[in-house]
Amino acid sequence: FKKLAEEVVAKEKEMAEKKGLKFSFEVDSSDYNMMGDITHLGEAVRNLIDNSINYTPTGSISVGLSNKGKTLLFKVKDTGVGVKEEDKGKLFKAGGVGSDSIKINTNSSGYGLAFVKGAIEKHNGKVWFESAGAGKGSTFFIELPLK
């Protein structure tokens, strides 16, 4: 998973920096070996970073990967538009977009996070997010079992 994340991050970092965003990636030297579909997991990681880039007009994005013993924790934190309280229940559902999503990201289909959720759950993992509200950024998390 570490190699997969590093490859996706390298591509996404370039996009973020072209937009003028600060971008960081922190990962330790732990073992991140696991069984899984590299294509689906790569797409899930890419989707979360892509969303942060699309919904962060200015500021920064930080990506992290850590080993929690029996699981790995991948997170993407941004200083972007955040998630309004009334939109929080929509995000991981097919077609679920926030009330202002289309104003910020005209390419939003509402299916990216639904894909992420399905892909991660098929790998016996979980995905969630935290946001203090509109204008306060977001952090999206993926937790997956190791080996």
- Per the CB < 8 A criterion, the answer to whether 7 and 42 are in contact is yes
Confidence (pTM): 0.90
3-state secondary structure 15-43: HHHHCCCEEEEEECCCCCCCCCCHHHHHH
- Per the CB < 8 A criterion, the answer to whether 130 and 69 are in contact is no
pLDDT attached to residue 112: 86
Give me the sign of the Cα torsion angle 119, 101, 128, 44.
positive
- What pLDDT, in 10s, does the model give residues 78-131? 999 998 888 887 787 765 565 555 556 556 666 789 999 999 999 999 999 999
Structure tokens at 82: 């955040």
- Per the CB < 8 A criterion, the answer to whether 66 and 141 are in contact is no
Place 12 in a pLDDT band, splitting at 50, 70 and 90. very high
- What pLDDT, in 10s, does the model give residues 48-79? 999 999 999 999 999 999 999 999 999 999 99
